[in-house]
Structure 1
Amino acid sequence: MASNDLSYRTGEAKGQAQAKTGQAMNTMKDKAQGTKDKASEMMASKDQTGGGGGGYMDKTCETTQAAKDKAAAAAEATKEKASQVAESGKETAEAGKEKTGGIMQKTGEQVMGMAQGAADAVKHTLGMAGEDANAKRDH
C-alpha cells in the first residue's frame, strides 16, 4: 500500500505542477498580449495626433530624409562642377586647335614659298625661266 500511496502522491504532484505551469503560461500570454495592445494603442495615438509615443521615429525619419537631401545636393554640385570642367577643357582644346591650325597654315605657306623660290632658281639656272622671270631678277 505504501507504493500505491507513493504513486498517488507522485501523480498529484505532477498534476499540480502541470496546473501551475499552465497558469504561468497563461499569465505570460496575458502580459504579452497586454504589451502588444499597448504598443498598438501608442501607434494608433501617434497616427491620430501626429505625435505621441513615436517621436523618436519621427526624428529618425527626419534625419534620414535630411541625409538623403544632403547627398542629392552634393551629387548635383559635383555633376555641375564636372560639367564646368569639361566645358573649360573643350574651350581650351578648341583654342589650341585654332592656334595650331594657324601655325600649320603659316608654315605651309612658307614651305610653298620656299619651294617656289627653289623652283624658280633651278629654272633660271637651267635657262628655262621666261623673260618675265629674268626681268624680275635683273631689277
Structure 2
Amino acid sequence: MSSAQFNAGQSHGQAEAKTQQWIDSAKSTAESAHDKACDAAGKTQGQAQRSKEESAGFLQQTGEQMVHMAQGAIDGVKNTLGMGDKK
C-alpha cells in the first residue's frame, strides 16, 4: 500500500469519526431541547390548571354572594309588603 493510499484511508477514517461526533452532538442537543420543551409544557399545564381552579373558586364565591344579595333583596321587598316573617 502506498503512502498516498494510507493517508487517504486515514483521512477517510478521521472524517467518519468527526461526522459521528457531529451526529452524536446533534442528537444530544435535540434530546436536551426536547426535555426542556417537555418540562416547559408540563409547567404551563400545571399553571393553567391552578389558574382554572382559582377562577372557579372566585366565580363560585361571587355566585354565592350574588345569591345572598338577591335573597336579602327579596326578603326586604317581602317585609315592605308585609309578606315576610317580620310583620
TM-score over 0.5 (shorter chain): yes
Write the distance in 2 (CA, Å) between the matches of 1:127 and 1:69.
Answer: 86
Quote the residue 2:83 is aligned against. Answer: 128
Bigger relative contact order, structure 1 or 2 (CA pairs below 8 A, ≥6 apart): 2
Write the distance in 1 (CA, Å) between the matches of 2:80 and 2:17.
Answer: 94
Matches within 5 A, 1:14-93: 42=5, 52-53=6-7, 54-93=9-48
Write the distance in 1 (CA, Å) between the matches of 2:11 and 2:45.
Answer: 51
Deviation at 1:85, TM superposition (A): 0.3
RMSD: 1.6
Quote the residue 1:97 is aligned against. Answer: 52
Q: How many residues align?
A: 84
Unaligned runs of 5+ in 2: none
TM (normalized to structure 2)?
0.89
Runs of 4+ off more than 6 Å: none
Structure of higher CA gyration radius? 1
Q: SS state of the match for residue 86, structure 2?
A: helix
Write the distance in 1 (CA, Å) between the matches of 2:40 and 2:19.
Answer: 32
Quote the residue 1:23 is aligned against. Answer: none
Write the distance in 1 (CA, Å) between the matches of 2:20 and 2:48.
Answer: 42
Deviation at 1:134, TM superposition (A): 1.2
Identical pairs, percent: 37
Deviation at 1:127, TM superposition (A): 1.2
Write the distance in 1 (CA, Å) between the matches of 2:17 and 2:33.
Answer: 24
Write the distance in 1 (CA, Å) between the matches of 2:70 and 2:45.
Answer: 37
